Amino acid sequence: MHAIRIICLVALVRAAQRGELAAIRFNAIDKSICVYCLFSSVVFVVREGCSGEALVGEAGQVYNIFVSYFACRALIGNYEGFEEFLSKTAIFIVPVAICMSFEAVSGRSLFTGIGDEYRDGHYRCAGAFRSPITAGTFGATLMPLFVGLWFTQARRTAALVGICAATVIVVCGRSSGPLLSYGAGLLGLFCWRFRTHMKAIRRGFALTIIGLHLYMKAPVWFLMGRISDLIGGGGYHRAEIVDAAVKNFSAWWLVGTRQTSDWVGVELSFGGADLTNQFVVEGVKSGLAAMVLFIWIIVRCFRAVGLAVEKTAEEFPESARMFWALGAALLTSVVNFFSVSYFDQIHVVWWLLLAAIASVTAVAAQGFPVVLDAMPQIAEELQPVQCPSSGQDTR
């Protein structure tokens, strides 16, 4: 029971006691996560022979997913609650940014008391995380959400503080993956003005990737290596992981595999290759079906965000901007999945993001009156008045 697991459990118990957990209405995202988690765990345990070690380890993973996700799902019950959560989070991450700034200047961590990793003339700071990569991931994921908060007008001070703190965290991490995902988040936010043409943009992007794959001498995923030549990082290692997964497809597609030590040159101390790709990790753990279910969760979330933007863009443009920011944050994580497989407490941020999408977009999906209920400041302006001609109450 790590500290983060205890915190999530306390949050879940608190939500249950206040009736917030029972108030959850299951939607497509919730069901997709449950199916993915149970299927992936069952396949993994069956493959490992139901040994005690496998059961305990996988029970911890199931615990991480369900407790983290449903605690956040219950605590972020509606749109207004999500805005309040972001405004407080913006303040809470300021100490993290300050500590990482101190590390970047002095090379000493206030959390571990030892020096940080030094690369290319800069310290790579981890802050309260186990790795600079997960620390940078933390900031990169939150940044688009704070930009969305900026457009709510009433919470602009908190939004500006959050944007600055998140950016400092990413810069101090000095990791190419989070920096790329940070840029992807900015690109996603910029695409707001092209929101009515996103279908054409997605198709054009897919055709471009296919065309590059046919034109290039090496497979298209080796573009990650080319990018690392420009910004640094282990891009070629990431490309080799995808290449090894494709070449060894027959070894893992059915129920996954534990034999990955000969895939790439970097091997972990406890055995197996250092698979810094979340999609590959899902397949290696429980097979192709588990990978597809994981991708399907992401598709469901993007679809929910798109429908929410479509329903609110005209009447509530500020809310639509926030929905769009959720999509940009999701894009940030998807891009980052190609450079890191989530570990330590960063998994809570991932399930928090999905829980926020499931909770907040449900308000728009249920129709216009529910949106009004989620925005008391607007609902109060639309009070019943008496119609002079009929004497009936109207709005």
Domain boundary, last residue among 37, 60, 75: 75
User: 128 φ, ψ to 5°?
Assistant: -85, 5
269 with 311, same domain: the answer is yes
H helices within the chain, ranges in order?
3-17, 28-47, 52-75, 79-92, 94-106, 132-150, 156-173, 176-190, 198-215, 223-231, 235-247, 249-252, 278-286, 288-312, 317-336, 346-365, 368-373, 376-379
254 with 131, same domain: the answer is yes
Residue 96 lies in a domain: yes
Lowest mean pLDDT among 205-219, 346-360, 365-379: 365-379
Residue 140 has pLDDT above 50, yes or no: yes
Residue 393 lies in a domain: no
306 with 331, same domain: the answer is yes
Residue 370 has pLDDT above 50, yes or no: no
Mean pLDDT, residues 41-50 = 88
| 3-class secondary structure, 394 | strand
136 with 60, same domain: the answer is no
257 with 140, same domain: the answer is yes
57 with 144, same domain: the answer is no
Q: What is the pLDDT of residue 322?
A: 94
What pLDDT band is residue 380 in, cutting at 50, 70 and 90?
A: very low
Q: Annotate 170-201 with DSSP letters as a single string.
A: HHHHT-HHHHHHHHHHHHHHHGGGGGGGHHHH
134 with 58, same domain: the answer is no
Distance separating alpha carbons of residues 142 and 155, to the nearest angstrom = 16
161 with 219, same domain: the answer is yes
Residue 222 lies in a domain: yes
Residue 219 lies in a domain: yes
Residue 270 has pLDDT above 60, yes or no: no
Residue 381 has pLDDT above 50, yes or no: no
219 with 145, same domain: the answer is yes
Paired residues of 108 in beta bridges: 115
Residue 229 lies in a domain: yes
291 with 194, same domain: the answer is yes
Q: Which residues contact 184 (CB under 8 A, 6 or more apart)?
A: 331, 332, 334, 335
Q: What is the pLDDT of residue 112?
A: 72
213 with 248, same domain: the answer is yes
Domain boundary, last residue among 75, 92, 119: 75
Residue 374 has pLDDT above 50, yes or no: no
Q: Per-residue pLDDT tens for 313-360?
A: 888 898 999 999 999 999 999 999 999 898 889 999 999 999 999 999
| Tally of structural domains, the chain | 2
SS (H, E, C) 197-225: HHHHHHHHHHHHHHHHHHHCCCCHHHHHH
Q: Per-residue pLDDT tens for 110-135?
A: 877 655 677 767 788 988 898 899 99
Asked if residues 144 and 103 have their Cβ atoms less than 8 Å apart, the reply is: no
Give the residue numbers spanning the domain of 121. 76-374
Residue 209 lies in a domain: yes
What pLDDT band is residue 274 in, cutting at 50, 70 and 90?
A: confident
Residue 313 lies in a domain: yes
The identity of residue 131, as a single letter, is S
Q: Which residues contact 11 (CB under 8 A, 6 or more apart)?
A: 71, 72, 75
109 with 59, same domain: the answer is no
User: How big is the CA angle at 241 (ends 68 and 298), to the nearest 5 degrees?
Assistant: 35
Residue 292 lies in a domain: yes
User: 389 φ, ψ to 5°?
Assistant: -80, -40
User: 40 φ, ψ to 5°?
Assistant: -60, -40
